[in-house]
C-alpha cells in the first residue's frame, strides 16, 4: 500500500514530506508533489509532516471520489509520459537523484481551483 498526495498540495508545496521520507519516494512536480507507489514503504511519516493535510493512505480512498481520483493521478505521474519528457518516469529509485520534474499530470496541470 502507499500514501497519496491530494489537491491541497497543488501550488502549496511545503516539502516537509520530502524531508521526512526515509526512502526518498516523494517526487516534486511543477505544481505538486507525488508519491511513487512502487517505492513507498507505507510508513506514514509524510502524512504526519504535511502542514497542508494533503496526504492520505490509498487504502482509505475507496468510496471517496476525490481521493480515488488523486490515487489514480498520483500513480499516473509515474506511468504516463509527462510533457517535456521522453517517456514515463517509472521507478527511478529515489527523487533526490532525479531532482525536480518540471511537469505535472494533466489533472494537476489543468487544476484551476
pLDDT tens sequence across 31-77: 999 999 999 999 999 999 999 999 999 999 999 999 999 999 999 99
Measured distance CA(24)–CA(47) in Å, rounded: 14
Determine the pLDDT at residue 13.
82
| pLDDT, position 58 | 96
**DSSP 3-state helix, strand, coil percentages of the chain (rounded to 5)?**
35, 10, 55
In sequence order, the 6+-apart residues with CB closer than 8 A to the CB of 109 are 30, 31, 83, 103
What's the confidence (pLDDT) of residue 34?
97
Q: Is there a contact between 44 and 26 (Cβ–Cβ < 8 Å)?
A: no
Q: What is the mean pLDDT of residues 18-39?
A: 96
Take residue 82 and report the three cell numbers written for it: 509527462
The pLDDT score that the predictor gives to residue 91 is 94
How many percent of the chain have pLDDT more than 90? 94
pLDDT computed for residue 105 by the predictor: 96
We find that the CATH architecture of domain 3-81 is: 2-Layer Sandwich (3.30)
Q: Give me the mean pLDDT over the 11-31 stretch.
A: 95
Q: Where are the domains of the chain?
A: 3-81
Burial of residue 6 (number of CB atoms within 10 Å: 0-12, 13-18, 19+):
buried
Q: Inform me whether the pLDDT recorded for 1 exceeds 80.
A: no
CB 65 within 8 A of CB 2: no
**What is the mean pLDDT of the segment spanning 72-101?**
94
Determine phi and psi for 63, rounding to 5 degrees.
85, -5
Amino acid at each position: 500500500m502507499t500514501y497519496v498526495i491530494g489537491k491541497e498540495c497543488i501550488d502549496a508545496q511545503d516539502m516537509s514530506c520530502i524531508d521526512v521520507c526515509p526512502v526518498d519516494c516523494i517526487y516534486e512536480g511543477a505544481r505538486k508533489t507525488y508519491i511513487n507507489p512502487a517505492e513507498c514503504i507505507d510508513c506514514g511519516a509524510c502524512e504526519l509532516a504535511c502542514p497542508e493535510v494533503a496526504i492520505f493512505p490509498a487504502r482509505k480512498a475507496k468510496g471517496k471520489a476525490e481521493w480515488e481520483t488523486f490515487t489514480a493521478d498520483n500513480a499516473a505521474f509515474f506511468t504516463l509520459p509527462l510533457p517535456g519528457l521522453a517517456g514515463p518516469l517509472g521507478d527511478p529509485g529515489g527523487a533526490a537523484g532525479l531532482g525536480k520534474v518540471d511537469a505535472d499530470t494533466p489533472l494537476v496541470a489543468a487544476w484551476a481551483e
